[in-house]
Every structure is written in structure tokens, then in C-alpha cells.
Structure 1
Amino acid sequence: MRAIQITEFGGPEVLVPVELPDPVPGDGQTLVEVDRAGINYADTHQAENSYLAKQELPMVPGGEVVGRTPDGRRVVALLGTGGYAEKAVAPTTTTWDVPDGIDDVTALGMIVQGVSAWLLLRRSTHLEPGESVVVHAAAGGVGTLAVQLAKAWGAGRVIATASSPEKRALALDLGADIAVDPKEPDLKAALIEANHGRRVDVVLEMTGGSVTDQSLTALAPFGRLAFYGMASRELPKPVQPANLMSHSTTVAGMWLAHVFQLPGDVMGTALDELFGLAADGRLKVVSGGEYGLSEVRRAHEDLRSRRTTGKLVLDPSR
């Protein structure tokens, strides 16, 4: 089968098209003939071995696929590695049937980005109706869905940030009340001004560095910041517990892998709600483009340079 393999860690240049034997599922695994694989920002960290989970070489990257099982079921699946290929094996416990009417891009957009947005708003920050929400990187995979979910769940004001006028326009089209350039010299003041002069209640943040620092200082009493990525690869300042107490603020971290340690089927519950909203036309995955296996380096370059919006997918047939 055709696949992308990494034999040394690094940037996009380490993604090499190869021919590999077909994977063979073991006990508790499901074989999937891949129609599309998701491309996530986390994959760029996986390629350079800078993500939360350490990687081993050689490796076929890619953590999510949609396709068919040998018995004809159409499924979407999470897997640790192996997604950038014509065939993949996934744990049966992280393989879900795709409802009729849900296309490949929507299925892939929901399984990581959609569930991440769901968890950030539902569990990490416990969004209440009427509260203000800042969504950083609002034109990205998680951001586009978080903007829509915040509005659907009654947020009083959704403030999007994005790095270009086109991306800010997209966030507004998706329902954000106002869009801000995150490169504003005084981002704290810009966020407060965007919230009619009031500090903000909730911030979803995946940039790192000064964006995190200024967003934290823009929080209202009992405001919550959920940190789920560091796209800039710049560390924010250490958080001082005394400062949290003095302002009654909360900082949460979120890594999707931990959803499987929660009691009950939280992942299934989230997907059911997300697919239902998509089927009703109340939630849409923004397609950010499709790449063939031969174009995967360009996909990672586009991600790292922030040229992309929405959900990117890989077509292993070309």
C-alpha cells in the first residue's frame, strides 16, 4: 500500500511517500480502507517528536481516518499513528459508525476538532449562557467549530481572533460577534474593548507566548482560560497561583487523549450531539482543502505557516 513514513524526526521534509505491506489487524482492532485521513496541527508536532506523547521510528503519521471496514461499514476512527496511508488499523473502541448524510470532511472534522471544541466549552470552561467567549485561532479546525458551538449554546458575545482579514471575515460569517487581530500590541485591551469594555469570561487558547499571557490578564473574576495547544512554540509565562486567587480566575489544560479516562462514553456522547447539529444544519465543518499523498509536505508547510483555514484532509488514492 502507499503511505507516508517518517524515519527521522524533523519538519515537513521528513515526510516520505513509500510502499509498505498492508497492516494486519490484531485482537481488538479494526481494519479500515482509508477514503480520507485528517491532517491536524498536532501532526506537525508528531513529525518533530515535540508533542505530549513521545513517538517511535519508523512511523506512519496521522491520527484519524474515515473509510470502510471489510464488512462494508462506513466508519471514522482515532488511531495513534498510521493514518497517512491507503489502509490503517484502529482500536475497535475508538471506531464509530458515520451516520447517513455526514460527508468525509465533516466526519473527520468532528472526531478531533469538534470533540475538542465540545470538551473545551462543556467541561474545561463550563460555558454558561450569556457569558463572553474569546476563541483564538478562530479560523482553524477547532476555532471554526468552537465559534459555532458557543453561539449555539447561548454565549452572550463571541470574540474571535485570527491573523488575517480573510480569516477574521470567516469567523464573522460563522457567527462571531467581532473579530480581533491577535497581533494587536495591547491584546488585553483589544479583547476588553471588543467585549464592550468588560473583561471576558472564557478564553480558548492554543497559540502560546504573549497571546496566552495577555488573554489571562483579560479575564473577568471567575473567568476561565482553557489551553489546548502552543502553535507559536513559544512558552507563556509561568502562572502564579497567588495571581489566580487574587483575580478568581481558572486556567485549565485539555488534551483529547484524556477523554477516554472519563467515566462513561463521553466521546460517543459528544459525537452524537455534534453529528446531530451537523445533520440539522446548525454546525458545519469548514473544508480547508484536500491534499494527495504526494502533497503532504506542502500540507504541513501550509499548517505551520498558518496559511490554512478549517479542516484539512489527505486523499491516499493520489
Structure 2
Amino acid sequence: MRAIQITEFGGPEVLRPVELPDPVAKPGQLLIDVAAVGVNYADTHSVEDSYLSRSTLPMVPGGEVVGLTADGRRVVALTATGGYAEKAVAWENMATEVPDGVSDGAALALVVQGLTAWHLLRTAGRMAPGETVVVHAAAGGTGSLAVQLARRFGAGRIIATASSKEKRELALELGADVAVEAEAEGLKERLVEANGGAKVDLVLEMTGGPVFDASLAALAPFGRLVTYGMASRTEPTAVAAGKLMAHSTAVVGFWLMHCVGKPALHAEPMAELLRMVAAGELNPLVGEAYPMSEAARAHSELRARRTVGKLVLDPRR
């Protein structure tokens, strides 16, 4: 089968097309004939071995696939690795049947980014109706879904950040009340101004570094910052317990892997998200579909923030 493999850690340049033997499903696993592969920002960290879980070589990256099982079921599944290939294996409890009317790209947008957005708001952020929510990278795969879900879950005000005028306009179309420049300098002041001069209740943050610091400073008493990524590859300034106490604020970390395999945290939210998409109540933003042979270009574009929505690889190209 055709696949993308890495034999050394690094940037997009280490992603190389190869021919490999078909994988073999173990008991409790499904062999999936892959129709489309999802590209997630975590993939870029795995390829350079900077993710929360360590990578081993050689490796076929990719943890999101949609396709057909041997018995003809159309499923979307999480895989530990091995997704960038024509065939992949996944544990049965990591696979969800895709309803008619939900496209491959939309299903892939939900399996990591949709579930992440749901948990950022519900589980980690504990968003209450009427609260002000800040969504960073609001035109991206997770952010675009978080904006829509925050609106459906009753947010009082949604403030989006994005790196370009076009992306900010898109965030407004998705349901944000206001969209501001994502640059770290002056970010705290822009967020407070966008909230009518008041500090904010909940921030969904995945950049790290000075964006994290500015977002934390923008929190109202009892506000929460949920951190779920570090796209800048820069650690924020150390969070001091005294400062958190002085402002009654909280920093919450979130990693989706702590939810997988648990029905109440994985299967049930995933079913809810798929139902919402099938009913036209949620619109996953599907971006460019790249030939699988151009996985390196997809990673380069993603890291440079030149993409919008969910990126997909086509294993047939």
C-alpha cells in the first residue's frame, strides 16, 4: 500500500511517500480501507517528536481516518499512528459509524477537533450560559467548531482571534460577536475592549508563549484559561500560584487522549456532534484536500497558519 513514513524526526521535509505492506488487524481491531485522512496540528508535533506522547521510528503519522470496514460499514476512527496510508487499523471502540449526509471531511473534522472543542467548553472550561468566551485561532479546525458550539451552548459573548482580516470575517460568519487581531502585543487590551471594557470568563488557548500570558491577564475573577496546544513552540511565563489566587483565576490543561475509550467522554459526545452535523445544526469547516503524496506541503501550510478549517489528505492521489 501507499503511505507516508518518517525515518527521522524533523519538519515537513521528513515526510516521504513509500510502499509498505498492508497492516493486519489484531483481535478487537478493524481494518479500514481509507477514503480520506485528517491532518491535525498534533501531527506536526509527532513528526518532530515534541508531542505529549513520544514518537518512535520508523513511523507512519496520522491519527484520523474515514473509510470502509471489511463488512462495508463507513466509519471514522482514531488511530494511534498509521493514518497516512491507503489502509489503517483502529480499535473497534475508537471507530464511529458515519451517518448518511455527513461528508468524509466533516466526519474527520469531528473525530479530534470537534471532540476537543466540545470538551474545551463542556468538560475543561465548564462554560456557563451567558459567559464571555474567547476562541483563539477561530478560523482553524478546532476554533471554527468551538465558535459554533459556544453559540449553541449559550455563550453570552464570543470573541474570536485570528491572524488575518479574512479569517476574522469568517469567524464572524460562524457566530462570533467580535473578532480581533491575534498578535500577542496588546492582546489583553483588545480582548477587554471587545468585551465592553470588562475582563472575560473563559479563554480557549493553543498558542502558548506571550499569547497565553496575555490571555491569562485578560481573565475576570473566577475566569478559566484552558490550554490545549503550543503552536508557537514557546512556553508561557511560569504561572505563579500567588497570581492565580490574587485574581481567583484558573489554568486548566486539556488533552483529548484522556477521553478516548470512555463512552461518556468519547462515544456519546461524538454521536451528539454527528447528529448535529446531519441535522444541519453544526457546520464543520473543511479546508483544502491535498494528495497524500503532498503531506509535507500540508504540514508546511498548517504550521505557517495559511490554512482554514480541517485539512484532508486523499490517499488515492
- TM-score for both structures, normalised by structure 1: 0.98
Q: What is the SS of the residue equivalent to 2:223?
A: strand
What are the ranges of 5 or more consecutive residues in structure 2 without an aligned counterpart?
none
Structure 1 Cα separation of the partners of residues 28 and 282 of structure 2: 32
* CA 81–125 in structure 1, closer or farther in 2 if over 3 Å, else same: same
Matched with 1:281 is 280
Counterpart residue type for residue 275 of structure 2: G
* CA 77–261 in structure 1, closer or farther in 2 if over 3 Å, else same: closer
Contact 1:184 1:190 in 2 (8 A): no
Structure 1 Cα separation of the partners of residues 27 and 255 of structure 2: 27
Structure 2 Cα separation of the partners of residues 261 and 223 of structure 1: 30
Structure 1 stretches (4+) deviating beyond 6 angstroms? Answer: none
Matched with 1:212 is 212
Structure 1 Cα separation of the partners of residues 56 and 189 of structure 2: 44
| Residue 307, structure 1, aligned to residue 306, structure 2 | yes
Counterpart residue type for residue 37 of structure 1: V
| Residue 42, structure 1, aligned to residue 42, structure 2 | yes
Trace 1:138-217 onto structure 2 (pairs within 5 A): 138-183=138-183, 185-217=185-217
Q: Give, in angstroms, the shift of residue 261 of structure 1.
A: 7.0
Percent sequence identity is: 62
Structure 1 Cα separation of the partners of residues 297 and 182 of structure 2: 25
Counterpart residue type for residue 260 of structure 1: V
Q: Give, in angstroms, the shift of residue 316 of structure 1.
A: 0.3
Q: What is the SS of the residue equivalent to 1:32?
A: strand
Matched with 2:64 is 64
* CA 37–268 in structure 1, closer or farther in 2 if over 3 Å, else same: same
Q: Give, in angstroms, the shift of residue 260 of structure 1.
A: 3.1
Matched with 1:245 is 245
Q: What is the SS of the residue equivalent to 1:22?
A: coil
Counterpart residue type for residue 305 of structure 2: R
Structure 2 Cα separation of the partners of residues 184 and 245 of structure 1: 24
Q: Give, in angstroms, the shift of residue 106 of structure 1.
A: 0.8
| Residue 121, structure 1, aligned to residue 153, structure 2 | no
Structure 2 Cα separation of the partners of residues 86 and 43 of structure 1: 17
Deviations 1:108-137 (A, max 9, x none): 001100000000000111111100000001
Contact 2:184 2:214 in 1 (8 A): no
Q: What is the SS of the residue equivalent to 2:82?
A: coil
Contact 1:76 1:108 in 2 (8 A): yes
Structure 2 Cα separation of the partners of residues 236 and 244 of structure 1: 15
Q: Give, in angstroms, the shift of residue 184 of structure 1.
A: 5.6
State the superposition RMSD in angstroms: 0.9
Structure 2 Cα separation of the partners of residues 102 and 33 of structure 1: 18
Q: Give, in angstroms, the shift of residue 186 of structure 1.
A: 1.3
Q: What is the SS of the residue equivalent to 2:260?
A: helix
Matched with 1:226 is 226
Q: What is the SS of the residue equivalent to 1:7?
A: coil
Matched with 1:266 is 265
| Residue 30, structure 1, aligned to residue 41, structure 2 | no
Q: Give, in angstroms, the shift of residue 104 of structure 1.
A: 0.3
Structure 1 Cα separation of the partners of residues 67 and 260 of structure 2: 22
Q: Give, in angstroms, the shift of residue 56 of structure 1.
A: 0.6
Deviations 1:78-128 (A, max 9, x none): 011000000001111211111121110111001100000000000111111
Q: What is the SS of the residue equivalent to 1:43?
A: helix
Q: What is the SS of the residue equivalent to 2:179?
A: strand
Q: What is the SS of the residue equivalent to 1:275?
A: helix
Counterpart residue type for residue 86 of structure 1: E
Structure 2 Cα separation of the partners of residues 227 and 100 of structure 1: 34
What are the ranges of 5 or more consecutive residues in structure 1 without an aligned counterpart?
none
Counterpart residue type for residue 158 of structure 2: V
Structure 2 Cα separation of the partners of residues 228 and 175 of structure 1: 22
Q: Give, in angstroms, the shift of residue 265 of structure 1.
A: 3.1
* CA 72–261 in structure 1, closer or farther in 2 if over 3 Å, else same: closer
Deviations 1:140-190 (A, max 9, x none): 110000000001111010000000001101101101000000116211111
Counterpart residue type for residue 279 of structure 1: A
